[in-house]
Amino acid sequence: MALAEESGENLLLKRVGFTLLLLMVFRLGVHIPTPGVNAKALVALASQNSGGLLKMLNMFSGGALNQFSIFALGIMPYISASIIIQLMTVVVPSLEQLQKEGGVGRQKINRITRTLAVIIALLQGYLAAIALEKAPETAAGAAVLDPGVSFRLLAALLLTSGTCFVMWLGEQITEKGIGNGTSLIIFAGIVAYFPSGIGKVVESLRDNSMNIVTALGLALFLVGLVFSISFIEQSYRKIAVHYAKRLVGNRVMSGQSTHLPLKVNMSGVIPAIFGSTILAVPLSFGGFFGKSQGSAWLSALMPNQWLYNVLFALLVLFFCFFYTSITFKPDDIAENLKKQNAYIPGIRPGTETAEALDMVVTRLTLAGAVYMNLVCIIPQVITGGFSDQLYVGGTSLLIVVGVALETVRQVSAQLATQKYDSLLFTGKGNDSEPKLTPATDRSPL
């Protein structure tokens, strides 16, 4: 047992260490600038345009866009490609069929998504180079030392290569580390801004632009927001499930009672990330072609504006239902329960069970969408966008807390698996030790 526990702990430590190592590589890459840019001019431009769209894009890239580093596009092209492919699975029958083919189909869809991400990265990289060439000249000079087609092609190639490398880092973390690689990369980019946000508060207290009461109120508000997010993200609706007596081999297994846990927020942080990404598209193209200034509707699409908040709420509502419909299939759950001689009390197995589950999931998804909109929008309304300027707004906190909780759950699952394996290992060597049987640890799923 000691040997099994030791090997399990070493495996978990290796996974955690591997994840931290790749996140450090990502953070180092953020500080590698693209050749041909003026670093001092980029610093001046970043200080002049620290809010709005630039802030939001920097949040996802971990500050790489401010420095126009090789990771300036970050994981955003992959997220955009994922949105497009997931939406197309509803429209294109061949993609829908691939999704139903299990692991092989998912691998093909992942290849298509990565290819589309490369195409999007090339386009965004070229347009970003054009936008940087058109940036106003600062006291440190122009942002681009030698503008022209050669710089644009070089920048597009390097930024696309950086995106591909970040995608690879995310996949390696997912396969060999702990947690979802893509989410953790976004998590690392947001957390990297927290020290500077705290520094702004301290600086504001020193120059008396903020009093201590306001700072304490903001801190208490953010702590309460973190507590609320943690509470909802760990909330479940438990549906009672009963197993009838059944014959397993030569043994008659007695009936059991358990429950089917359904999360209040099944879609996690995906709708918030997708909604922010989609709303960044028109502003990005407007900025690339120099039309972001003086356009009323583009100005209304800036973060914290009324049109942005309305569209964001609608997109979050849509993606909550869309993502839940992809990940949770009431018909499949009902069929699996029926095959296992399980039923929900008071509901007939089969179609009626699927309808009951669909009704419960619809209500939970609506509640989750309302909660997500409140968390993402209300803080900006209450604080007047001040918390968002400190990079600790509702959307960023939702992503950070959600990813942290999901990672902790995966670590707990790893520890539980190791404990289960160690008990089985002990049972093989000593018959006096209690052994686990499949009947004592049956999952309703």
Among 195-199, 255-259, 304-308, 389-393, the minimum mean pLDDT is found in 389-393
Q: What's the pLDDT at 331?
A: 87
How far is 44 from 118, CA to CA, in rounded Å? 30
Q: What's the pLDDT at 406?
A: 85
What are 282-330's pLDDT values in tens digits? 766 655 555 544 466 666 677 667 788 888 889 999 989 988 888 888 8
Q: What's the pLDDT at 427?
A: 52
Backbone CA torsion sign across 214, 220, 224, 230: positive
Q: Phi/psi class of residue 36: alpha, beta or left (left: φ > 0; alpha: ψ in -120 to 50)?
A: left
Residue 238 in 3-state DSSP?
A: strand
Query: For residue 238, what are its two tokens?
Result: 């438990």
Phi first, then psi: give them for residue 242, nearest 5 degrees: -115, 140
Instruction: Please check the confidence at residue 428 and state whether its pLDDT lies above 60.
Output: no
Q: What's the pLDDT at 25?
A: 92
Residue type, 132: L
How far is 98 from 115, CA to CA, in rounded Å? 16
Quote the percentage of the chain above a pLDDT of 70: 76
Query: For residue 128, what are its two tokens?
Result: 């970003």
What structural domains and CATH numbers belong to the chain? Answer: 1-183 (1.10.3370.10), 193-445 (1.10.3370.10)
437 falls in which pLDDT band (50, 70, 90)? very low
Instruction: Please check the confidence at residue 119 and state whether its pLDDT lies above 70.
Output: yes
Q: What's the pLDDT at 286?
A: 59
Q: Are 357 and 334 in contact (CB under 8 A)?
A: yes
Q: What's the pLDDT at 47?
A: 64
What are 32-88's pLDDT values in tens digits? 888 888 777 777 776 665 544 555 666 666 666 777 788 888 888 888 888 888 888
153 falls in which pLDDT band (50, 70, 90)? very high
What's the mean per-residue pLDDT of the chain? 78
Q: What's the pLDDT at 115?
A: 92
Instruction: Please check the confidence at residue 383 and state whether its pLDDT lies above 90.
Output: no
If one compares 175 and 105, the residue with the highest pLDDT of the two is: 175
Q: Are 288 and 127 in contact (CB under 8 A)?
A: yes
DSSP 24-51: HHHHHHHT-BPTTB-HHHHHHHHHHS-S
Residues 412-433: what's their mean pLDDT?
A: 60
DSSP 254-321: PPEEEEEEEESSTTTTHHHHHHHHHHHHHHHHHHHTT-SSS-HHHHHTSTTSHHHHHHHHHHHHHHHH
Q: What's the pLDDT at 56?
A: 60
How far is 440 from 222, CA to CA, in rounded Å? 43
Q: What's the pLDDT at 131?
A: 79
Most confidently predicted of 134-148, 256-270, 351-365: 351-365
Residues 269-285: what's their mean pLDDT?
A: 76
Q: Phi/psi class of residue 71: alpha, beta or left (left: φ > 0; alpha: ψ in -120 to 50)?
A: alpha
Instruction: Please check the confidence at residue 116 and state whether its pLDDT lies above 90.
Output: yes
Q: What's the pLDDT at 444?
A: 31
Q: What's the pLDDT at 425?
A: 53
Backbone CA torsion sign across 382, 388, 389, 392: positive
Q: Tokens 């029958």 identify what position?
A: 93
**What secondary structure letter does DSSP report for 438?**
G
365 falls in which pLDDT band (50, 70, 90)? very high
If one compares 269 and 62, the residue with the highest pLDDT of the two is: 269
Q: What's the pLDDT at 189?
A: 83
Phi first, then psi: give them for residue 262, nearest 5 degrees: -120, 120
Q: What's the pLDDT at 118?
A: 93
Given the DSSP bridges, would you call strands 251-253 and 342-343 parallel, antiparallel or unpaired? unpaired
Q: What's the pLDDT at 273?
A: 80
Separation of first and last alpha carbons in the chain: 29
pTM beyond 0.95, yes or no: no
Q: What's the pLDDT at 160?
A: 93
If one compares 201 and 236, the residue with the highest pLDDT of the two is: 236
If one compares 90 and 360, the residue with the highest pLDDT of the two is: 360
**What secondary structure letter does DSSP report for 246?**
E
Q: What's the pLDDT at 4?
A: 46
